[in-house]
Amino acid sequence: MNTNGGGVWQHSDVVVVGAGLSGLVAAAEAYNAGSRVLILDQEPEASLGGQAHWSFGGLFMVDTAEQRRLGVKDSVELAMNDWLGSAAFDRPEDAWPRAWAEAYVNFAAGEKRAWLHALGVRFFPLVQWAERGGYDAQGHGNSVPRFHVAWGTGPGILSPFLAKVREGVAAGRVQIAFRHRATELVFHSRSVTGVRGELLEPSGVNRGEASNRTVVGDFEVSAQSVIVTTGGIGGNHAMVREQWPNSSGPDYMLSGVPASVDGEFQQSVANSGGALINTDRMWHYTEGIHNPEPVWPLHGIRILSGPSPLWLDATGQRLPIPLFPGFDSLGTLRHLETTGHEHSWFVLNKTILNKEFALSGSEQNPDLTGKDVKLLAKRALPGTPAPLQKFLDAGIDFVQAATAQELALKMNALTGNSLIDPENLHQTILARDMQVDSGLGKDTQLNAIREARRFATDKLMRVVPPHPILAAEHGPLVAVRLTTLTRKSLGGLTTDLSARVLGGDGEPIPGLFAAGEAAGFGGGGMHGYRSLEGTFLGGALFSGRVAGRHAAEATGTAAAAAGSTGV
């Protein structure tokens, strides 16, 4: 992308720190409102778009045309009840996060789909059901399916905002300065008037690869408004462990985000007086597997599983109800911490794997990402999808066997211990299979599988009919070692509903705004303790839009562009 050569602008109306999704949305909105916008990012141009590029493209939306076509009855009231049951807000500082949650749910039930549709974003018609919960009606989980996958996945969501920024660059009103690493805010009195930082050595690494931090100079730029959109902390394991609730976290974790997601500028803003709250609330996954073709350090991929695999702890014990695949991510993480081991297992057979396993990430779903209908149709054919087959062939976390006893020996060989008793594993699977053979049964997981198949998407493409796992015709048996995968920080800089960063006294810091993960997706943590999924990209979109519009308004340029339409 042409970034307007001739040197970085020393002054602009709005400076956006971070060129991920929320930053691009904020920049597009500010430009659209008439502002002159400078975007700073520490990474090279290849990584423009940040984490969103790698995402599966799932968006939480409420009462949509896609849901209604599938017979799903949803409403803003039901969604808000689910959100509050999952968030479990319980702190005095949760006032702004709760206000953002209410605003976001109304957005997700209101103009979100129409806004994105007008920008050219389209959605896969089969809505997915994530984070099902399994508790009571006021507890955690989505009561109905709300996970809408964008056609084109993460890159498809980025596309219209990249186009708007390119338009601004061509018009001479937007500039992107890559390899500019912001380190501190510039103040005049109490107002933020700019950003200073380090100029990093040029880097030719590919998207997502770790770039060097060799400093070759410094910079300082001024603006009437500064928007912080630098993301979270998931690539900085030291910071993740420092903020881990009640402990230091697992000794070994995989990274679900690039190393550039380091949280350092967020901490700099906090050191300058921005109120950083809820840092102990995080969203990491326990279904991580090693990527055999890693892009960044400790690159892990999350398995998006249907509900049929048995989930066992490191010793071979089934996890307690309702910790089934896809039901309660945080509950599973909390339980596994009590076991004293850093891995768990999915145990299943090839029939379940072929239909129920999906891999998170745009690069793991070339059919959806490439908008390839012919390739997508192959998902309905027998056999293992090609991206998953790569993990079976080259991944270090998969073992296969004809019998449970043989499978247990291979599981122990993989982990270098004898925690799995071969006969106990056989009896655990056999006991579950007898419940299937009974035709009715008392196994809660089997009942959840049957219930899931009442929903059209699950029956068609996500959940196999209940059958004995040990049945030879469904073999071989498969075990997958699972490792904690870092992903999102749910806390962040406190912002009001105009995305203004608040100080420790609760008052806005003039000239300073924040959006995306750096702001806890709004308010310093609009998710509370748990996510309903599809709410990270959506939160980046919503908070970036709010920040861009209000930052432009604060400069006075929005008034000059009143009545403008577009992004």
The DSSP H or E segment spanning 243 is helix 237-243
pTM equals 0.96
Distance between CA atoms of 323 and 305, rounded to whole angstroms?
13
Res 1 pLDDT > 90: no
What is the percent of the chain with per-residue pLDDT over 70, rounded to a whole number? 97
For the beta carbon of residue 244, count every other beta carbon within 10 angstroms: 16
The pLDDT assigned to 562 comes to: 45
- In the chain, where are the structural domains located? 12-281+490-562, 295-485
Look up tokens 């790569």; give the residue.
390
194 within 8 A of 200, measured Cβ to Cβ:
no
Rg of the Cα atoms in the chain: 24
User: What is the pLDDT averaged over residues 449-471?
Assistant: 96
SS3 505: coil
User: Residue 321: which residues within 8 A CB-CB, separation 6 or more?
Assistant: 134, 444, 445
Res 486 pLDDT > 50: yes
Res 567 pLDDT > 50: no
Mean pLDDT of the residues in the chain? 96
Distance between CA atoms of 498 and 543, rounded to whole angstroms?
9
Q: What residue type is 25 in one-letter code?
A: V
Distance between CA atoms of 522 and 547, rounded to whole angstroms?
10
User: What is the pLDDT averaged over residues 403-422?
Assistant: 98
Interval 137-146: pLDDT, tens: 999 999 999 9
Distance between CA atoms of 247 and 238, rounded to whole angstroms?
13
What is the percent of the chain with per-residue pLDDT over 90, rounded to a whole number? 95
Interval 503-540: pLDDT, tens: 999 999 999 999 999 999 999 999 999 999 999 999 99
Nearest partner of 490 among 455, 536, 458, 448, judged by Cα: 536
The pLDDT assigned to 565 comes to: 31
Burial of 5 (0-12, 13-18, 19+ CB in 10 A): exposed
Strand ranges inside 299-406, DSSP E: 300-305, 310-313, 343-349, 357-359, 398-401
Nearest partner of 274 among 284, 262, 265, 285, judged by Cα: 265
13 within 8 A of 223, measured Cβ to Cβ:
yes
Token readout for 420 is 């799995």
310-313 and 276-277: which strand pairing?
A: unpaired
User: Residue 508: which residues within 8 A CB-CB, separation 6 or more?
Assistant: 496, 498, 500, 501, 502
Token readout for 416 is 């270098």
Res 429 pLDDT > 90: yes
* DSSP 8-class letter at 131: -
58-60 and 37-41: which strand pairing?
A: unpaired
Interval 536-564: pLDDT, tens: 999 999 999 999 999 999 998 765 554 33
Res 23 pLDDT > 80: yes
The pLDDT assigned to 564 comes to: 38
**Cα dihedral 35→40→46→51 (10° resolution):** -90
Nearest partner of 446 among 436, 461, 456, judged by Cα: 436
Interval 147-193: pLDDT, tens: 999 999 999 999 999 999 999 999 999 999 999 999 999 999 999 99
CA distances from 425 to 317, 386, 419 (A): 8, 29, 11
CA distances from 5 to 8, 175, 176, 215, 567 (A): 8, 9, 10, 21, 25
Interval 25-43: pLDDT, tens: 999 999 999 999 999 999 9
Distance between CA atoms of 303 and 179, rounded to whole angstroms?
33
User: What is the pLDDT averaged over residues 420-426?
Assistant: 98
List the single range of 201-205, 311-315, 561-565 with lowest mean pLDDT. Answer: 561-565
Distance between CA atoms of 89 and 108, rounded to whole angstroms?
20
CA distances from 511 to 14, 24, 300 (A): 9, 19, 38
Res 233 pLDDT > 50: yes
Q: What is the largest CA-CA distance in the chain?
A: 75
Distance between CA atoms of 421 and 405, rounded to whole angstroms?
8
For the beta carbon of residue 340, count every other beta carbon within 10 angstroms: 9
Task: Pick 12-281+490-562's CATH classification: 3.50.50.60, 1.10.3720.10, 3.30.43.10, 3.40.50.2300.
Answer: 3.50.50.60
534 within 8 A of 153, measured Cβ to Cβ:
no
CA distances from 323 to 20, 331, 380, 474, 478 (A): 33, 7, 28, 24, 20
Nearest partner of 304 among 140, 530, 487, 129, judged by Cα: 129
241 within 8 A of 249, measured Cβ to Cβ:
yes
The pLDDT assigned to 247 comes to: 85
Token readout for 274 is 């921005």
More confident residue, 144 or 3: 144
Distance between CA atoms of 415 and 482, rounded to whole angstroms?
11
SS3 196: strand
Nearest partner of 57 among 278, 347, 369, judged by Cα: 369
364 within 8 A of 387, measured Cβ to Cβ:
yes
SS3 316: coil
Interval 97-137: pLDDT, tens: 999 999 999 999 999 999 999 999 999 999 999 999 999 99
| CA count, 13 A, side-chain hemisphere, 564 | 19
Give phi and psi for 458, each to the nearest 5.
Answer: -65, -45
Going by pLDDT thresholds of 50, 70 and 90, the confidence category of residue 3 is low
User: What is the pLDDT averaged over residues 292-321?
Assistant: 98
Interval 332-378: pLDDT, tens: 999 999 999 999 999 999 999 999 999 999 999 999 999 999 998 88
SS3 549: helix
484 within 8 A of 329, measured Cβ to Cβ:
no
The topology (CATH level 3) of 295-485 is Flavocytochrome C3; Chain A, domain 1 (3.90.700)
